[in-house]
């Protein structure tokens, strides 16, 4: 009950945590962020003695960046030699909490919190709240660093745009060119016109200096004469293991040929860079088209997945059922369903496709369509698995297969026939808290095609019994330390929370996995189905 109260209190604080993150993330600079963080700590814990320290790297000295309340210099010893993440609650009672938080830019934040104004010690709720607030600060600081980097990149981009404006007309025309030949020919024409060169030459060679493309202006000019002329300037760049060498020869004046000026060299370098930029832009355009194609595929896959993952599950007389599917990416490879059948029967299915993306989504769609078709024939789970396996095997490449669990439930007799095709064994929880793992079945669907039906099993669901189906996105969820959530934690919740309605148990399980993972990225889809006889 105490744990429930903590969860309820933390849930009530969720909005303030989000608000705190937004306030911190909007900070104009680090100093303002520290001031906002101090205000959040002070308002949350009603505390006056707050001392914040910072070091630019783990080897530098601590620098005091904020202080509220009376300061005792001896307290610095609490964090003096600490560089790794820690939160401590000293027993000497001079201060309530000490925290050292390494940040994303290798700097370190030190936090010392004094006594609360009401003189009480930090409760369990206070300690958990402090951990969350520190995580909020860390996430906001990461966001702040990202925004700062974006501003720097934008500034550099504006500077380059300003430089290109000096040759805006040439740049616009070059950007309209398609292909290397058109770019080089136009570049030569513009370079000779802007510098008054009598002739120009572009040589494109490979890394072994073997020339494989030459562009000459005017066409009658001799490339060797241009290359060796003493009145010449040169510019070059490398792109995709090729060297582009630009040479202008003999600047024409009223007094005859002469040397090129520094401004001429700048103009030639500018045109050279513009051609390079155009070549890169053409490649980027092709990449953009490819990315758009992939995004369309993902959109199609996401649409397919939304259509086959049930938004609501059917009402089953005498049973309480709930399910959840949380993809780790835009499109996941997990699937679950509950299909109502004639004669007060239903089928409960969960599956996990090897791989992600549109291929996995289409395979899940194939599985869903086949299931709904085959279930109409009132066949056994073993025969159902045999037909599905043959279909998946002939429809996919060797690296694609599906782990799947199917339960056919007769709600009149409360009897269940099951088959497990390589999936995580579902947990059958009896009313007396005993758990049975259901591993009946054989290989994953589509892995082999032996043509031998898998052997199923039959179970009776008594009043108070329940069945929990899941994918390994729950048990293998990792936190920032690389630790897995584990089957033990999942089983513990299943046993201790079995009194909850199905949806509440599912929601609690998902929340506990999320809390365990912390800031670690979700690495796999999370899918679960819980059905309980009431």
Tell me, what's the pLDDT at 418?
94
- Compute the Cα dihedral for 209, 212, 215, 220 and give only its sign: positive
Band of pLDDT at residue 163, cut at 50, 70 and 90: very low
Count of CA atoms in the C-beta half-sphere (13 A) of 198: 19
Instruction: Please tell me whether residues 124 and 271 are part of one structural domain.
Output: no
Answer left, alpha or beta for residue 385, where phi above 0 means left and psi between -120 and 50 means alpha: alpha
Instruction: Please tell me whether residues 345 and 402 are part of one structural domain.
Output: yes
Band of pLDDT at residue 166, cut at 50, 70 and 90: very low
Q: Are 479 and 520 in contact (CB under 8 A)?
A: yes
3-state helix vs strand vs coil in the chain, percent to 5: 45, 25, 30
Band of pLDDT at residue 162, cut at 50, 70 and 90: very low
The last residue of one of the domains, among 268, 283, 298, is 283
**234 lies in some domain:** yes
CA distance 452 to 281: 56
Helix or strand (DSSP H, E) at 386 = helix 381-395
Give the phi and the psi of residue 205 in degrees, each rounded to 5: -130, 160
String of DSSP letters for 153-195: HHHHHHHHHHHHGGGHHHHHHHHT--SHHHHHHHHHHHHHHHH
Band of pLDDT at residue 322, cut at 50, 70 and 90: very high
Give the phi and the psi of residue 333 in degrees, each rounded to 5: -115, 10
The tokens describing 377, both together, are 């024939």
- Compute the Cα dihedral for 67, 71, 75, 81 and give only its sign: positive
**Which of 114-118, 150-154, 385-389, 393-397 has the weakest average pLDDT?**
150-154
**Which of 147-161, 226-240, 310-324, 340-354 has the weakest average pLDDT?**
147-161
**Which of 23-37, 40-54, 220-234, 251-265 has the weakest average pLDDT?**
251-265
The tokens describing 99, both together, are 């925290």
Instruction: Please tell me whether residues 195 and 139 are part of one structural domain.
Output: no
**288 lies in some domain:** no
**What average pLDDT does the chain have?**
85
Instruction: Please tell me whether residues 383 and 503 are part of one structural domain.
Output: yes
Instruction: Please tell me whether residues 419 and 333 are part of one structural domain.
Output: yes
CA distance 467 to 408: 12
Q: Are 351 and 334 in contact (CB under 8 A)?
A: yes
**301 lies in some domain:** no
Tokens 């069945």 belong to which residue? 467
**Domain that residue 105 falls in:** 2-160
Q: Are 430 and 436 in contact (CB under 8 A)?
A: yes
The last residue of one of the domains, among 113, 134, 160, is 160
CA distance 229 to 224: 8
pLDDT at 466 over 60: yes
Instruction: Please tell me whether residues 197 and 277 are part of one structural domain.
Output: yes
**302 lies in some domain:** no
The domain that holds 519 is classified in CATH as 3.60.40.10
Instruction: Please tell me whether residues 29 and 131 are part of one structural domain.
Output: yes
**300 lies in some domain:** no
Instruction: Please tell me whether residues 315 and 369 are part of one structural domain.
Output: yes
**297 lies in some domain:** no
For 366, 372, 429, 446, the CA distances from 421, given in Å and listed in that order, are: 16, 18, 21, 10
Give the phi and the psi of residue 51 in degrees, each rounded to 5: -130, 120
What is the bridge-based pairing of β-strands 435-437 and 427-429? antiparallel
Q: Are 69 and 132 in contact (CB under 8 A)?
A: no
Instruction: Please tell me whether residues 94 and 232 are part of one structural domain.
Output: no
CA distance 183 to 176: 9
Band of pLDDT at residue 483, cut at 50, 70 and 90: very high
The domain that holds 189 is classified in CATH as 3.30.450.40
Instruction: Please tell me whether residues 431 and 315 are part of one structural domain.
Output: yes
**106 lies in some domain:** yes
| Cβ atoms within 10 Å, residue 241 | 8
Per DSSP, what are the bridge partners of residue 417?
A: 408, 458
**120 lies in some domain:** yes
Tell me, what's the pLDDT at 484?
95
Instruction: Please tell me whether residues 404 and 521 are part of one structural domain.
Output: yes
Q: Are 500 and 459 in contact (CB under 8 A)?
A: no
pLDDT at 160 over 50: no
pLDDT at 368 over 60: yes
The last residue of one of the domains, among 100, 130, 160, is 160
Instruction: Please tell me whether residues 21 and 117 are part of one structural domain.
Output: yes
Tell me, what's the pLDDT at 493?
95
Number of compact structural domains in the chain: 3
């Amino acid at each position: 009950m105490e744990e429930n109260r903590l969860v309820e209190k933390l849930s009530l604080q969720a909005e303030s945590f989000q608000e705190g993150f937004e306030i911190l993330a909007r900070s104009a600079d680090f100093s303002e962020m520290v001031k906002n963080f101090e205000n959040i700590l002070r308002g949350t814990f009603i505390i006056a003695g707050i001392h914040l320290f910072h070091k630019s790297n783990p080897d530098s000295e601590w620098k005091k960046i904020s202080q509220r309340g009376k300061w005792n210099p001896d307290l610095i010893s609490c964090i003096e030699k600490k560089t790794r993440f820690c939160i401590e609650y000293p027993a000497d009672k001079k201060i309530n909490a000490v925290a050292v938080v390494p940040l994303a830019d290798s700097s370190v934040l030190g936090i010392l919190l004094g006594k609360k104004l009401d003189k009480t010690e930090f409760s369990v709720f206070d300690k958990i709240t402090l951990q969350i607030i520190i995580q909020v600060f860390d996430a906001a600081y990461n966001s702040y660093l990202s925004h700062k980097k974006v501003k720097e990149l934008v500034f550099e981009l504006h500077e380059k745009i300003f430089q290109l404006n000096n040759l805006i007309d040439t740049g616009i025309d070059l950007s309209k060119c398609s292909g290397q030949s058109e770019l080089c020919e136009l570049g030569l024409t513009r370079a000779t016109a802007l510098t008054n060169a009598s002739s120009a030459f572009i040589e494109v060679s490979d890394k072994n200096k073997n020339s494989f493309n030459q562009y000459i202006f005017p066409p009658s000019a001799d490339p060797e004469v241009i290359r060796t002329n003493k009145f010449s300037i040169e510019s070059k760049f490398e792109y995709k293991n090729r060297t582009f060498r630009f040479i202008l020869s003999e600047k024409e004046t009223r007094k005859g040929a002469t040397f090129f000026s520094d401004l001429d060299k700048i103009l030639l370098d500018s045109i050279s860079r513009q051609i390079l930029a155009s070549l890169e832009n053409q490649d980027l355009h092709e990449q953009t088209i490819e990315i758009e194609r992939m995004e369309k595929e993902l959109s199609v896959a996401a649409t397919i997945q939304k259509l086959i993952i049930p938004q609501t599950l059917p009402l089953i007389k005498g049973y309480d059922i709930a399910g959840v599917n949380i993809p780790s990416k835009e499109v996941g490879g997990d699937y679950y369903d509950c299909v109502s059948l004639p004669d007060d029967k239903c089928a409960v299915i969960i599956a996990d496709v090897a791989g992600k993306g549109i291929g996995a989504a289409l395979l899940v769609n194939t599985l869903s369509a086949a299931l709904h078709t085959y279930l109409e024939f009132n066949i056994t789970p073993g025969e159902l698995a045999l037909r599905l396996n043959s279909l998946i095997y002939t429809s996919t490449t060797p690296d694609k297969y599906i782990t799947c669990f199917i339960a056919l439930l007769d709600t009149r007799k409360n009897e269940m026939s099951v088959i497990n095709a390589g999936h995580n064994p579902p947990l059958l929880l009896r009313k007396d808290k005993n758990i049975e793992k259901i591993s009946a079945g054989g290989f994953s669907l589509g892995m082999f095609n032996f043509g031998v039906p898998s052997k199923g099993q039959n179970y009776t669901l008594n009043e108070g019994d329940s069945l929990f189906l899941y994918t390994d996105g729950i048990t293998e969820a990792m936190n920032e330390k690389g630790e897995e959530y584990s089957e033990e934690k999942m089983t513990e919740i299943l046993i201790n929370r079995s009194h909850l309605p199905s949806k509440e148990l599912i929601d609690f399980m998902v929340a506990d996995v999320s809390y365990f993972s912390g800031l670690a990225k979700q690495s796999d889809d999370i899918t679960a189905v819980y059905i309980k006889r009431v």
